[in-house]
Every structure is written in structure tokens, then in C-alpha cells.
Structure 1
Amino acid sequence: MKFWQRLFTAFLQRFHLMRFFGRNRSFKELHQSSYAQEISKNLSKRLLNASRTQTNDLLKQFDTHLTGLTEEQAHTQQMTVGLNEVTHEKPLTWWQHLWYCYRNPFNILLSLLALIAFFTDDLTGSTIISVMVILSTLLRYWQEAKSNQAADALKAMVSNTATVLRHQVSAEDLELMHERYGIDTKNQTTHQFEIPIQYLVPGDVILLSAGDMIPADCRILSAKDLFVSQAAMTGESMPVEKFPLQKNLEETSALELDNIVFMGTNIVSGSAQAVVLSTGIQTYFGALAHQCYGY
């Protein structure tokens, strides 16, 4: 029995069909799983250490300042750690998409009937059935392709940004930031810049306010009436207040830390200044997403 289960699982993985036969586990279920325990051994240890480290010592570890990284430092970090993105599934090729549009019980049944008609010399019936299958497949392919294009266009219109601080910004840095991030730096009078969140790196100092989505795992440096919704991570329905200092130094659960905020959670009210600890797949959210969806 196990042999056939493994064989069927291998078949589903080979043809990207796992999504139709498996149930994606929620983050709450993952926290209760053995994988969550494995995460806590690595990520949690790092986050616990960051929560207990003095602010000045933490900034020295990341070679940053309260006014953030320099643009050169940020660019060097990005070349090392990559973009702040959770890896997603690769889009299907046109022939894979066409195959998925064809394979369904109705089309397969019609195909079998067409073969039976062909081998029994009923060429008219075989032709009619084959045309029905081809038209059905091509129509579905065209509709889904148009829908995917529309969805991609909407995604391109929505860009998440974060307010990041830059240390010792020169005129040359402003030109580089304009080229790298596509932002307007001509009339820039402060060291605060709105850049796409995928360009954040560990050591960046960011500003958070009500309504913001937290773009990475961060340590709070300063806060004013800061409440964070962690429902996506812990299932808690009520917002949790965050502080610059960790009150309970004996706390062993990363998700219960007072001065750590996580990628994917939201600021409900208040404001804060925070330093980025980890980005992309190295975040708690990224690790869970990797396990949940197999990316």
C-alpha cells in the first residue's frame, strides 16, 4: 500500500498536481508541528539573542547606525543576501498549461470515445468528438491565459514600499537610488526614502506607522503606542503591544517577544523605528511558507 502511495505522490509532484490533492496547512497548524520546533532551534535562537542584545551592540553587529545604512552598504548587502522575497512557484510553460486545460475526466472520456469510434470505422463520430475536445481545451486555455495576464497587470500596479533611513547620503547616492529603486530623489530633503520592500536588507533601519505591513523580521528600536496584529502568525485575534525593550528576559518563544515584529504582520496603531534582522526566506514567515507550500 505504501509503495502505491509513494508512486502516486511522485506522479503528482512530477506533473505539479499536488495542489489539487493536498490541503495546505495553516500557520497555526505548522506552529504545532515538528517543523515549527525545528524552526525554533534556529530562527528563534537568533531572534531571542537579538531581543536581549543592547541597541548599540545590535547596531554594531549589523554595521549600521540609528540613521541607517549607507547606500553602498545596502547595495553590498543586497548582493550577498539577495532580494527580500519569499520564493514563489515558477509559472507554467505554455505546453504545461495546455495539458492542464485538457486533462479532466470529461475530456478524457470523450477522447476514449473518439478512439473507440475511430477503431470501429465511425470516422464522422470520431471527428466530431475530437473537434469538441480541441475546442473545449483551447477555449479554457485562452480564458485562463487572459485571466493570468490581467492578474499580472494588477500585481504590477500594486507596489509595497517601506520607509528606510539612509546614512550620509551624497548627490551620487541619490542618483544611484533613483536608478536602483525607480524613486524620485530630485527634491529629496530628508534621509527618509520610500523604496520597494524587496530591496530591504539586514541592517536597514525603517520607520513603521499604522496601516503598514511589516516587510521583514525586525527589532524595535523605539515605539509609541505600537500595536501589531499577529493573527497571520499566531492566530491571535487581538493586537499585541510592542516595546523597544524585552520585559521578560526568560521568554523562550520567539512569537511572544515584546520587541520583535515579523514579516507578514500589520501595524494596527502607533509608530516605531526598527532595524531589519532578516529578510526573504530567512524570516519566520519565509520559513513557514517554504514548508507550507514547498517553495
Structure 2
Amino acid sequence: MKKTMTKLRNEQEVNRTLLQDSTANKDAVLAKYKSQIQGLSDLEAQTRENKYGKNITAEQKPTPWYINLAKSCNDPFIYILAILTIISYLTADIEATIIMSIMILFSVFLSFTQSMRAQKASLSLKNMIENTTAIIRDGIQKEIPIHDVVPGDIVFLSTGDIIPADARILEAKDLFINQSPLTGESIPIEKFTEASEKSLSIFERDNLAFRGRESKVQIYNAKKKRKPCYE
């Protein structure tokens, strides 16, 4: 319960910060985070990483083996075999009872091992793939791992990019972002740079971008300001 309440407070704090920054102009946002269009220096970026930590979110934990085992048993074919096994036992057909019991065990074992192997392969593939993003440091554009982005970084987005962090858009031209996992809207949302009205909800503010594996840029040519991450 304590961890849940802490997470809720952190999310509320992030939302308040996003709402405040969405109503501020570009210069005010840069000043607030002591940043500039030319980006942070490598030294300042390292200092901020030491202070705020890595730009990571809680990873989804692997499904426990007993959950996979329960799912393997939850199969209509297993139910039918179990019913037939009970009937065979009640009718004293021992041979059929043994055969169908073996079939049940084999079917569950096969399904369970396949699900565990698939999960292991998926985790291995995920660990092999490192998502990167384009940022500017010391006036030079470079690619860095998403988890190395720090508060105040200037992040460049292009078509197909995953949003690396909740952000305030500073510069944009024909920028559309798919926010369907967050809002349910199937049509990409066009983003702008002007300050938003205070009466709008957080997802209605078109100068904000939100982190997510499925929140992706649709049209090329954009520059944005990264927002702080709160663990």
C-alpha cells in the first residue's frame, strides 16, 4: 500500500509539473530547467544523472512459473480429458484412466514448457535491444540510450521514434504523435509549441508529449524539451 501511495503521489507531481510547463512559453521553460536550445554540457548532464538517476520506469516483471502452469491447465481440451478420465475411473476402466491421465500430464507439460521458453526468449531479445534517442549536448547532436536522457536535455524526434520521456514541445513542424495507448484516439494528434490554456486537461494540451512504448512520432521534423522523470 505504501509503494502504491508513493507511486500515486509521484504521478500527481509529474502531472502538476506538466500542466504548469504547458502554460509557460519556451523561454520560461528553458529558464526553469536551466537549459538552452544548444543543449546541456556533458558535465552538467552527468551531474543531473547523478542527482535524478537513470531515465527508467518500472519494468514489467516476468510471469511467475505457477501462473504459467495454471494457464496451461486452463484449456478446453484438458477439461474434456479430465471429464473422460473421471468417467473411465467410475466405470472401472483402469487402462483408459491411465492413458488419459498421461495425456493430460503430457499436454500440460508441453504447453507449460513452451510458454516458459517463449517468455525466456522474449526477455533475452528485449535485453539485446537498446532503444536510443537523438539529443544535443555541447551543441552537438548525438544518439544516446533513452535511459541516459536527463532533465533539461533537448531531444530531437523523427518519424517512428518512441517518446523517451514526458516532454514540453519547444519547436515543431508537422509533428503528429500517436497517443492511442493513452487516450484511445486512433488518429495521431498534431502538436504545437504555443502555451496552452489552463482550462484544458493534460491530454488536451497539444504542446505536451508523453512517454510510452507505443507513443510514436508520425511525421518528421520536430524538436522537443525533455521533462524531469520522477521515480
Match of 2:219 in 1: 269
- Distance between the aligned counterparts of 1:102 and 1:142, measured in 2? 12
Match of 2:170 in 1: 221
State TM-score, norm by structure 1. Answer: 0.59
Find the residue that maps to 2:226 and give its secondary structure. Answer: strand
Deviation at 1:72, TM superposition (A): 4.6
Deviation at 1:136, TM superposition (A): 0.8
Structure with a larger share of its residues in helix: 1
Number of matched residues? 221
Match of 1:64 in 2: 35
Deviation at 1:74, TM superposition (A): 3.6
1:235-259 alpha-carbon deviations (Å, 9 max, x no partner): 445544433322x544422222242
State TM-score, norm by structure 2. Answer: 0.72
Deviation at 1:100, TM superposition (A): 2.9
- Distance between the aligned counterparts of 1:166 and 1:205, measured in 2? 8
1:137 corresponds, among 108, 111, 124, to: 108
Match of 2:143 in 1: 194
Paired residues for 1:1-295 under 5 Å: 43-78=14-49, 81-104=52-75, 106-107=77-78, 110-111=81-82, 114=85, 123-156=94-127, 158-167=129-138, 191-246=140-195, 248-264=196-212, 265-279=215-229
Q: Over the residues paired in the alignment, what is the CA RMSD in angstroms?
A: 3.7
Q: In structure 2, do the counterparts of structure 1 residues 267 and 105 end up closer, same or farther at CA, with 3 Å as the change threshold?
A: closer
Question: Structure 2: where are the runs of 5+ without partners?
Answer: 1-8
Find the residue that maps to 1:214 and give its secondary structure. Answer: coil
Kept in 1, the 8 Å contact 2:62–2:119? The answer is: no
Deviation at 1:42, TM superposition (A): 5.2
Paired AA for residue 202 in structure 2: A
Question: Structure 1: where are the runs of 5+ without partners?
Answer: 1-37, 168-189, 283-295
Deviation at 1:153, TM superposition (A): 4.7
Deviation at 1:41, TM superposition (A): 6.7
* % identity of equivalent residues: 34
1:32-69 alpha-carbon deviations (Å, 9 max, x no partner): xxxxxx99975543222102234344234334333333
